[in-house]
């Protein structure tokens, strides 16, 4: 079973993914694997070196990384796999950078769809305050990009009934509780 955690930078994906894995293993006794995208060190280096200069290259690098990631996942023996980001990230981010959304979907259509995607929704302005100290990008550009990415995510969620949106302006305790409810529905 594949569960994806999605959302803009600073929405709390990594923290939520870690806490869900801990809960699934300790309380639900499910053998659970936490993974993330980008997945491979080699492709991550290429993304850092080349990808940000060209959105097409970036979309293809993320998709290539996903191919390696999925091949690795299929060889793992776990009840549940939770991934911090998956193909909706590529669609949301790269289409915000001007790449045709349908082309990105076509490139990624062979990857398995998660049984559940949890989308952590957060206004871009709040996200920037959360990531400000660690962010290396221009904040004016970042704000504009994150606003477009958020809008893309929300539009994607309208088309996919397996996506559950959680307002991540709530306390983390509330976000975690809501996420657990969605996961519980799926695994029970």
What's the predicted TM-score (pTM) here? 0.92
pLDDT, residue 137, reads 44
Query: How far apart, in whole angstroms, are the C-alpha atoms of residue 43 and residue 39?
Result: 8
pLDDT, residue 138, reads 45
Boundaries of domain holding 137: 2-187
For residue 43, the domain's CATH number is: 3.40.50.300
pLDDT, residue 53, reads 77
Query: How far apart, in whole angstroms, are the C-alpha atoms of residue 49 and residue 22?
Result: 34
Burial of 129 by CB count in 10 Å (0-12 exposed, 13-18 middle, 19+ buried)? exposed
Q: What is the pLDDT along the chain (188 residues), one digit of tens a residue?
A: 999 999 999 999 999 999 999 999 999 999 999 999 999 999 988 888 876 778 899 899 999 999 999 999 999 999 999 999 999 999 999 999 999 999 999 999 999 999 999 999 999 999 888 887 655 444 456 788 899 999 999 999 999 999 999 999 999 999 999 999 999 999 98
E strand or H helix that includes residue 88:
helix 87-96
pLDDT, residue 136, reads 45
- Listed in sequence order, the residues at least 6 apart from 184 whose beta carbon sits closer than 8 Å to its beta carbon are none
**Cα Rg of the chain, angstroms:** 16
Q: 166-173 contacts: CB < 8 A, separation 24 or more?
A: 166/118, 166/119, 166/120, 166/121, 167/121, 167/122, 168/7, 168/11, 168/12, 168/120, 168/121, 168/122, 169/122, 169/123, 169/126, 172/12, 172/15, 172/16
pLDDT, residue 128, reads 84
DSSP state of 53: G
Could you give the number of structural domains in the chain?
1
């Amino acid at each position: 079973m594949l569960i994806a955690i999605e959302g803009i930078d600073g929405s709390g994906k990594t923290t939520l993914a870690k806490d869900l894995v801990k809960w699934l293993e300790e309380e639900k006794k499910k053998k659970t694997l936490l993974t993330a995208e980008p997945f491979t060190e080699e492709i991550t280096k290429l993304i850092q070196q080349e990808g940000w200069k060209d959105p097409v290259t970036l979309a293809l690098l993320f998709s290539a990384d996903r191919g390696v990631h999925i091949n690795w996942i299929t060889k793992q023996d776990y009840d549940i796999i939770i991934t911090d980001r998956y193909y909706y990230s590529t669609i949301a981010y790269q289409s915000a950078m001007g790449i045709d959304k349908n082309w990105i979907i076509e490139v990624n259509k062979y990857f398995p769809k998660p049984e559940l995607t949890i989308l952590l929704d957060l206004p871009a302005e709040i996200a920037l305050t959360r990531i400000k100290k660690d962010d290396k990008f221009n904040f004016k550009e970042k704000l504009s990009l994150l606003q477009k990415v958020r809008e893309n995510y929300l539009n994607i969620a309208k088309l996919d009934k397996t996506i559950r949106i959680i307002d991540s302006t709530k306390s983390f305790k509330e976000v975690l509780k809501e996420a657990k409810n969605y996961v519980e529905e799926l695994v029970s």
